[in-house]
Amino acid sequence: MILRRFLAAAFLAAATCGAAVAQDARRGAELAAPCMQCHGANGRSQMETIPSLAGQPADFITIQMILLREGLRQAPAMAPFAANLPDRDIEDLAAFFAALPPGPPDERRPRDPALITAAEALVGPRHCATCHVADYGGRNQIPRIAAQREEYLAAAMTQYRDGTRAGPDTQMNGAVVGLSDADIAALAHFLAQK
Amino acid sequence: MTIRRLFLGAAAMLIAGPALAQAPAPAPVPGWAIGRPEGSTLAPHAPRLTVTPLDQVPVSAIRLPPGFQAEVYAHGIPGVRAIAEGPNGTLFAGTRGIGRVYAITRNADGTTRTRIFAQGLTQPSGLVMIGNSLYIFAVNRVLRYDNVEANLDSPPAPVDLTAAYGLPTEQEHGANHHWKFVTLGPDGRVYTNVGVNCNVCDFDRDKFALLVSFRPDGSDRRIEARGVRNSVGMAHHPVTGELWATNHGRDWVGDNNPEDSLLRVRRAGEDFGFPFCLGNWADPEYNRGRACSEFSQPAALLGPHTAVLGMRFYTGTMFPAQYRNQIFIARRGSWNRSRLSGYDVVVAKLDAQGNVTGVEEFLTGLRDDANQRFLDRPVEVHVLRDGSMLVSGEQMGAIYRITYRQ
């Protein structure tokens, strides 16, 4: 019954955010075992450079998996998993991870007030919350960045800045243009502490 | 093997890309966000890059004038946008986010077959057929596939015309408005857009916000129009040969300004005023004291933030005579607006002198005003030889066919 309520909620969420398909999170759970080797048993990654997927918007996971499958996003560790993965598997995996409660990794480094202050001066002018929303929880194709792994956030922003990664559009490339490495380090720390 | 080469080429380009960080003089805020009011959470809608099952393609929601019918011509084509037709009837379809070019052929029983013709490209949204050759305009790449319809399953390596065209790179665009629309003029030249490298800013007006034309080999660049913020749809009038284009207005000046527009280019090089003006509307931040009367006026205003894209003159005979040589325009639909606008196809009605006498709704039903949702996003219109009209639906990966019966 809990599962049924869960699936009903997943269907409702899919229907209201414009995705036309009721993804099957239960089937996604069955497919997710290999993912959890790196992304964490509860979708919260304990591994350096590997992002947490718990609570990511389903559209975000789906689109990123398509970009990985199509060779448009370069992440060598993901290539063998994404290659030839059918759309339905991707959508079901996305529904599963989207429904997991988000949270930080078990070990998170202590809060650094200097970095937080530096980041607070950047998030306003850079309009981070415009797309990622006020609690940085993301929506639709825009990822949850709150409590994401710090070194992963820094690496991702660096890739967007350096033109080695783009989303389905280039909003993020425009958003981080001109940031220094120090700026990125501060933003990554600030968001990881959320 | 060609696909693999393309794939590796795209990967090499990404790695070799010298970093957006080196784009000249980074703006104090990101280019797309210039002018954005504090607190707004408007953002582009999520694309759908997975296959939409046929029973979820919203063809039954489409509304048309009396006598017109809509059917699904082809589906399962995620991200479908521009359509170019080969001499033997193959439809080539471009995309943005999913990086593919599709080839769609018709089976004897009337069903269609879709192949992935090329993949791993960055936003291959510009397609044009010249004779038997398909030209693909992706970001930072121009590729020509000769004798293309004879080689749909194993296309030979394309001719790379990127350097010959010398279009501004992704880095020079700062990742803004760098995707292409392309069409062939009656003069045999290739017409395309060079969008502005920001939402709104001061920029080199000889380099960005242009309509340009080339010889097909990429030589002899000519500026056809200036001050055009970003055009993702163009066509030449079937009688006069004049170039017409759709044009996107800037973001973040409120829900009702400025309007997207339809431009009629009467002479090469005329100036439509961006960033200073659009029509008689002076930009509140970038007007720079210019009189709007010094610029060419748009032929029609097409609504604020409606995202006007593909446009074609109707040259067939299936539709009633009143539609002949009138302009069908796909409006992909707004994101920079608190309530949705567009998500339809409209007709710009022209009189004998080529003046627009009105803009009428044609294909509606894809925008759900009550729930502020959309069912699909029309991007391209294409007139088939039998006079029916195709409309590509990017969000649902479907191509709709519109027919008329008395």
Do B126 and B188 form a contact (C-beta atoms < 8 A)? no
Contact between chains at B48 and A19 (C-beta distance less than 8 A): yes
Q: How far is B119 from chain A (nearest CA, A)?
A: 7
Q: How confident is the model at residue A127 (pLDDT cuts 50, 70, 90)?
A: confident
Q: How far apart are CA B265 and CA B234, in angstroms?
A: 11
Whether B114 shows a pLDDT value over 80: the answer reads yes
Do B175 and A166 count as a contact with CB atoms less than 8 A apart? yes
What ipTM was estimated for this complex? 0.84
Out of A125, A164, A169, the one facing B15 most closely (by C-beta) is A164
Residue A67: alpha-carbon gap to chain centroid: 14
A70 and B100 within 8 Å at the Cβ level: the answer is yes
Does B319 fall in a domain?
yes
What percent of chain A lies above the pLDDT cut of 90? Answer: 76
Distance from CA of A103 to the nearest CA of B (A): 24
CA pair distance B81, B391, nearest whole angstrom:
9
Answer whether residue B291 shows pLDDT above 80.
Answer: yes
Q: Please check the confidence at residue A169 and state whether its pLDDT lies above 90.
A: no
Chain B residues with beta carbon closer than 8 angstroms to that of A130:
33, 36, 40-43
pLDDT over threshold 90, residue B142: yes
**Could you say which of A18, A70, A163 has the minimum Cβ distance to residue B170?**
A163
In a 3-state reduction of DSSP, which class is residue B187?
coil
CB contact under 8 A, B96 and A87: no
**Are A72 and B99 within 8 A, CB to CB?**
yes
- What phi, psi does B4 have (nearest 5°)? -65, -40
Q: Tell me if residue B70 falls in helix, strand or coil.
A: strand
Mutate to test the interface with B, among A62, A158, A169 (most CBs of B within 10 A): A169
Interface test with A, best of B13, B49, B377 (most A CBs within 10 A): B49
The token duo for B178 is: 């760098």
**Coil, strand, or helix at residue A190?**
helix
pLDDT surpassing 60 at residue A13:
no
Euclidean distance between CA atoms B80 and A105, whole angstroms: 39
Per residue in A23-53, pLDDT tens?
899 999 999 999 999 999 999 999 999 999 9
Q: Which of B45, B120, B373 has the CB atom closest to A72's CB atom?
A: B120
**Measured between CA atoms, how close is A113 to chain B, in angstroms?**
24
A72·B50 Cβ contact <8 A: no
Nearest chain B residue (CA) to A91 = B50
B44 vs A contacts (CB less than 8 Å): 169, 171
Is B92 inside any structural domain?
yes
The total domain count for chain B is 1
Taking only the tens place, the pLDDT of each residue in B154-173 is 998 999 999 999 999 988 88
Quote the pLDDT of residue B199.
87
φ, ψ for residue B59 (rounded to 5)?
A: -65, -30
Q: Please, which pLDDT band fits residue A22 given cuts at 50, 70 and 90?
A: low
Tell me the C-alpha distance between B312 and A112, whole Å. 58
Residue B174, min C-alpha distance to chain A (Å): 7
Confidence category of residue A21, pLDDT binned at 50, 70, 90: very low
The pLDDT assigned to B254 comes to: 85
Residue B105 lies in a domain: yes
Question: Residue B95: inside a domain, yes or no?
Answer: yes
pLDDT at position A15 is 36
For residue B364, is it within any domain?
yes
Average pLDDT, chain B: 91
pLDDT for B32 equals 65
Mean pLDDT of B321-335: 97
Report whether B104 contacts B113 (CB < 8 A). yes
Domains of chain A, first to last = 2-99 (1.10.760.10), 113-192 (1.10.760.10)
pLDDT tens per residue across span B183-210: 999 999 999 999 999 889 999 999 999 9
Return the pLDDT at B128: 98
Residue B332: its H or E element: none
User: By residue range, what is the domain housing residue B124?
Assistant: 57-404
What's the rounded Cα separation, in Å, for the pair B179 and B30?
Answer: 18
The answer to whether residue A123 neighbours chain B at the CB level (below 8 Å) is no
Query: Does residue A160 sit in helix, strand or coil?
Result: helix
Cβ contact, residue pair A177, B47, below 8 Å: no
Q: Do A173 and B20 touch (CB under 8 A)?
A: yes
Output the pLDDT for position B31.
Answer: 65
Is the minimum CB–CB distance between A41 and chain B shorter than 8 Å? Answer: no
The b/e string for A42-64 (b: 16+ C-beta within 10 A; e otherwise) is ebbbeeeebbbbbbbbbbbbbbb
Closest alpha carbon within chain B to A73:
B11
Tokens of A145: 């960045």
Mark yes or no for CB contact B119/A70 under 8 Å: yes
The answer, yes or no, to whether residue A137 has pLDDT greater than 90, is yes
pLDDT band at B30 (very low <50, low <70, confident <90, very high): low
Task: Name which residue leads in pLDDT, B259 or B4.
Answer: B259
pLDDT in tens, A113-126: 999 999 999 998 88
Q: How many A×B Cβ pairs under 8 Å?
A: 144
Res. A7: pLDDT tops 50: no
Structure confidence by residue, pLDDT tens digits, B338-355: 899 999 999 999 999 999
Examine the pLDDT at A2 and tell me if it is beyond 70: no
Nearest CA in chain A to B197: A174
**Higher-pLDDT residue of A62, B44:** A62
Contact between A141 and B52 using a beta-carbon 8 Å cutoff: no
Q: Is the peptide bond prior to B275 cis by the omega test (within 30 degrees of 0)? A: yes
Of B36, B98, B171, nearest to A66 by CB-CB distance is B98
Ranges assigned E (strand) in A30-180: none
Q: Which of B186, B289, B286, B167 is CA-nearest to residue B244? A: B186
pLDDT per residue over B203-242, tens digit each?
Answer: 999 999 999 999 999 999 999 999 999 999 999 999 999 9
In percent, the amount of chain B with pLDDT more than 90 equals: 83
Q: Which chain B residues contact residue A133 at CB under 8 A? A: 41
If pLDDT is split at 50, 70 and 90, which confidence band does B329 have?
very high
> Distance (Å) from the C-alpha of residue B205 to the closest C-alpha of chain A?
21
Which CATH number goes with the domain that contains B187? 2.120.10.30
Q: Which residues of B touch A178 (CB under 8 A)?
A: 21, 23, 26-27
Angstroms from A143 CA to nearest CA on chain B: 11
**How far does B135 lie from chain A, in Å, by closest CA?**
21
On whether residue B81 sits in a domain, the answer given is yes
Nearest chain B residue to A75 by CA distance is B11
Q: Is residue B357 part of a domain?
A: yes
Mean of the pLDDT values across residues A144-148?
98
Whether B23 maps to a domain, the answer reads no
In a mutational test of the B interface, the residue from A70, A139, A157 whose CB has the highest number of chain B CBs within 10 Å is: A70
- Is residue B23 very low, low, confident or very high in pLDDT (cuts 50, 70, 90)? very low
**Cβ-contact A97, A43 below 8 angstroms:** yes
